[in-house]
Amino acid sequence: MEKDWTINSRLIPKRGNAITAKAPNLSTLGTKIGGTTFVADDAVIDAVKAWRRWLADERRSSSHTVSAYVRDLSAFFAFLKVHLGGPVSFAGLEGLRAADFRSYLARRAAENRAKTSTARAVSVLRGFFRYLEREELVSNGAVTSLRSPRLPHAVPRPLTTSQASTVMAAAGGGAASANAQPWIAKRDAAVLLLLYGCGLRIGEALGLDGRDADGADVMLVRGKGGKERGVPVLPLVNRAIADYRAACPLTLEASGPLFVGTRGGRLGARVIQSGMARLRRSLGLPPSATPHALRHSFATHLLADGGDLRSIQELLGHASLTTTQRYTEVDEASLMATYNAAHPRARQ
């Protein structure tokens, strides 16, 4: 009987104690998808490309998320190339057993991959196989047996109010900037103020266009998944943005990036991350003092000052209140630290 290896193939290979499926008529080896190499037959390559488009267009995942997911899937395919003894095919994917998936997780553990990284890799595999089943390409129930590694309970690590104030003052003085030009110092200070003063993610701040910052009391921000939210803008933040725009020697178009590099292109996150690293060194701050820690600080300081969780959730753009509730643990820990330091019987 003639085998059909088109993109809609549902062939299930017969197996013994090990995977022996081989895909015939391979014409695509080492195909680049999103800058990452996949070794698979043509039908699987087409499916991976379609999945990537689905992530970006329908799930509206950020470019960073899509790239990370594609890399995770490519790592799994690289494992399968050795494990299966050849390029990946639908037959091979459909024939995978729970033991094969566990072998992949064991390989990651042997490579000392972080538990958070492996947890994401497991999520990517489940999502990819769900997509294949929805498209009637592959059905494999064994993937549901995958268990994510137990992750340590993470609590945000914000700066103290005095540390945050010191960072803002130092950034305003140019301590965060590698380039001595005054407009660059004003630019970097404005970005950091957006993170701390408005609780933006670094990608959200650098994704702003000129029209988004018009000096109004509320700014429309595009967050994860393309979701938009309005965030209040403090007068101090608006003044910092205005100062940067006035000092910038480059033309800032309404439809172009608000924050630009020296060549006029949209500013990259690495520039701000490096600036924060300089501030950490000069101010003696802990390694946890990153640009994202300024967002944590925004939420924690609001909560400590009486802000309610629902409002903070909306300001941060969290889809789930559970994510925002992590900041109550920080506030409680701070309260206990103050109690233990100040109460006369705390150390008895």
Residue 153: inside a domain: no
Q: Kindly state whether residue 67 falls inside one of the protein's structural domains.
A: yes
Cα–Cα separations (whole angstroms), residue 195 to 164, 175, 202, 316? 11, 17, 7, 10
Whether 136 and 204 map to the same domain: the answer is no
pLDDT of residue 227: 79
| 240 and 287 within one domain | yes
Task: Specify the pLDDT at position 331.
Answer: 53
Q: Which of 83, 245, 301, 318 is catalytic?
A: 318
Task: Give catalytic status of residue 295 as yes or no.
Answer: yes
- CATH number of the domain residue 78 falls in: 1.10.150.130
Considering the domain boundaries, does residue 11 fall inside one?
no
- The burial of 135, by beta-carbon neighbours within 10 Å (0-12 exposed, 13-18 middle, 19 or more buried), is given as middle
Asked whether residue 19 is assigned to any structural domain, the reply reads no
Q: Which of 52, 83, 108, 295 is catalytic?
A: 295
Look at the chain and report how many structural domains it folds into. Answer: 2
- CATH at residue 276: 1.10.443.10
Do residues 117 and 211 share a domain?
no
Residues 171 and 319 occupy one common structural domain: yes
Q: What is the pLDDT of residue 6?
A: 34
- Residue 284 sits in the same domain as residue 185: yes
Separation of alpha carbons 55 and 49, rounded Å: 10
Asked, for residue 303, whether it belongs to a domain, the answer is: yes
The full DSSP string for 8-32 is T-------SSS-----SS----SEE
Is residue 138 domain-shared with residue 167, that is, in the same domain?
A: no
Quick check: is 339 catalytic? no
Look up 186 and say whether it is catalytic. no
Is the Cα torsion angle 20, 23, 29, 32 positive or negative in sign?
negative
Distance of alpha carbon 277 from alpha carbon 258, whole angstroms? 23
Residue from 229, 234, 228 nearest 312 by CA: 229
Q: Which residue, 116, 145, 174, sits at the end of a domain?
A: 145
Q: Decide if 26 is inside a domain.
A: no
245 and 122, same domain (yes or no): no
Q: Which of 69, 131, 244, 327 is catalytic?
A: 327
Beta-strand ranges (E) seen in 26-133 are: 31-33, 36-38
In a domain, 83, yes or no: yes
Are 105 and 217 in the same domain? no
Catalytic residue among 52, 201, 296, 301: 201
Going from the first residue of the chain to its last (348 residues), give the mean pLDDT of each consecutive group of 10, the final group possibly shorter.
36 37 46 90 95 91 89 95 92 94 92 89 95 95 85 73 90 85 94 92 92 90 81 92 95 94 93 94 91 88 76 74 64 47 46
User: What long-range pairs does 106-112 form, CB within 8 A, spacing at least 24?
Assistant: 107/79
pLDDT of residue 175: 84
Catalytic status, residue 52: no
| Catalytic residue from among 59, 81, 97, 292 | 292
Both 165 and 310 in a single domain?
yes
Q: 188 and 332 share a domain?
A: yes
Q: At what angle do helices 115-134 and 98-110 cross, to 10 degrees?
A: 150
The yes-or-no answer on residue 64 being catalytic is no
Q: How far apart are CA 19 and CA 95, in angstroms?
A: 7
The one catalytic residue among 224, 229, 266, 326: 224
What's the domain range around 280? 161-342
CB 88 within 8 A of CB 41: yes
Annotated active-site residue 292? The verdict is yes
Both 182 and 294 in one domain: the answer is yes
CB 295 within 8 A of CB 204: no
Look up residue 150 and give its two tokens: 């137990």
Per-residue pLDDT, 222:
86
